[in-house]
Structure 1
Amino acid sequence: MMEIPTLRDVASACSLVGVLFVVRHLVAMRRIWAVDGWPRAIRDVWRATRTDAYGPEFEPDRRHAARQLYVGITFLAVGLLLFAGILAQAVLGPVFAQAGLA
């Protein structure tokens, strides 16, 4: 019979998948940056989220990169929120137990 994964395993998996999608975003953007020029500031990385930011010839690549970024940020946020919940439970659990609230 299959076991249910622990919350720590789910948080780790979400974080890892998020990092992988962000890396996929950077790989997709590398194709555009090779022609358009490498980003000079962190705000240039977010330019992929704007429609027609690189012109119509790069629009399919830009949309693909933006999707990878959105999915990666979502998975990273879920993973980090789960880790924050685990940490809060570990820190506040004994306090609530001692106060008789748990």
Structure 2
Amino acid sequence: MTRAELTDSAMRSMYDLMSRTIAAKSTAEIRSFEYYRTFWTAFARRGQGHLYCVMEDGRPSVGAFVVAYGRRDTYKDGGPLTRCSWCGDSHLVYGRPSMTPGPRV
């Protein structure tokens, strides 16, 4: 698992993972890309949000946006590839204490 720079390309990859996951597993509709970009960017600018991913064959197989508040981090958004060679990848983004370094707000 690595922390990804919050670039437009990374956010679009994350959104793509999320939208494919929702389409495959739910009847819910995903919010617009602009909603997520605005949220992720605002939290990242304050140092309270970071994008993490697990790479498989040179591309993200799991993405997670983590929000820090107080002494805790919370998984807010994410999604795995719907078909991956090792589908335990999503477990790599859970259970990590203080994934977000820096001051706590």
Structure with higher RCO (Cα < 8 A, 6+ apart): 1
> Which of structures 1 and 2 has the bigger CA Rg?
1
Normalising by structure 1, we get a TM-score of 0.24
Give the structure with the higher percent helix: 1
TM-score (norm 2): 0.24
Which structure shows the bigger proportion of residues in strand conformation? 2
